[in-house]
Amino acid sequence: MANRYKRILVKLSGEALLGSTDFGIDPQVLKRIAGEVLEIQKSGVQVACVIGGGNIFRGSGLAKAGLDRVTGDHMGMLATVINSLALSDALEQMGIATRVMSAIEMHQVAEPYIRRRAIRHLEKGRIAIFAAGTSNPYFSTDTAATLRALEIKAEVIAKATRVDGVYDKDPLKFPDAVMFREITYLDVLAKGLGVMDATSIAMCRDNKLPILVFNLNTTGNIMRMSMGEPIGTVIH
């Protein structure tokens, strides 16, 4: 079966790495996620990843606890570097070349993000992992994912979540929540659906970049999605 896409950007949340732990990374979960990402890559799709930092630090949470917001956001961005390194390691242990490219320069740890070099890595079959968000405070890794997806000309953002797609209300709290098969950017914004932050949705809308929202906990879902099977929700 042929892939529907040539190049996709997979957005993983840091929280997905928690598994059964309260903080940090569950190695079993990391391995499973890496395995899923690898499956798509093996099927011939160029794959770039952005992973969040919510399993370690979020600037907004730190600010609530009394830290300066900008410092908190810097800590959040550094948390995404930790997760990116972990994902890179898990993928490389499975035999695939990866490159972590950081928006904040830290040469000893990761390559700096350079767009043309990122595209070259993808063309050579490496998985590029974009770390440290946008390098700016007050943004999220959803926005970083959108920015990078546009820069590298990915055809789609695959947004991994803990539920099957976009619902009219939180399905983890409301059993009668209804899932949308497809929804417009405008409806996501107007209904205040929290699937991705408003900045990233608006950026996708302005640049006509579709978002596929799918459940990461269902094995094989990323692969089915990359084949164009109608799983989850399409925001377009």
Q: Closest distance between ligand UDP and the C-beta of residue 158, in Å? A: 14
Rounded-to-integer distance, Cα 76 and Cα 57, Å: 5
- Least distance from C-beta 93 to ligand UDP, angstroms? 23
Which residue, 14 or 165, is less far from ligand UDP as judged by CB? 14
Whether 145 contacts 158, CB under 8 Å: no
Distance of alpha carbon 39 from alpha carbon 11, whole angstroms: 16
- If the CB atoms of residues 52 and 232 are measured against ligand UDP, the closer one turns out to be 52
Comparing every residue's Cβ against ligand UDP, the nearest one is 52
Closer residue to ligand UDP, CB minimum distance, 18 or 227: 18
Q: Closest separation between CB of residue 137 and ligand UDP, Å?
A: 4
Q: Judged by CB, which is closer to ligand UDP: 40, or 79?
A: 79
What does the binding site for ligand UDP look like in residue numbers (CB under 6 A)?
Answer: 13-15, 52-54, 58-60, 72-73, 76-77, 79-80, 133-134, 136-137, 139-142, 144
Long-range contacts of 88-96 (CB under 8 A, 24+ apart): 88/127, 88/129, 90/30, 90/31, 90/33, 90/34, 91/34, 91/37, 91/38, 91/127, 93/34, 94/34, 94/35, 94/38, 96/38, 96/41, 96/126, 96/127
Residue 109 CB, nearest approach to ligand UDP (Å): 17
Q: Which is nearer to ligand UDP, 3 or 60 (CB)?
A: 60
DSSP assignment letter at 227? T
CB atoms within 10 A of CB 142: 25
For tokens 């919510």, the residue is 54
C-beta of residue 51 within 8 angstroms of C-beta of residue 129: yes
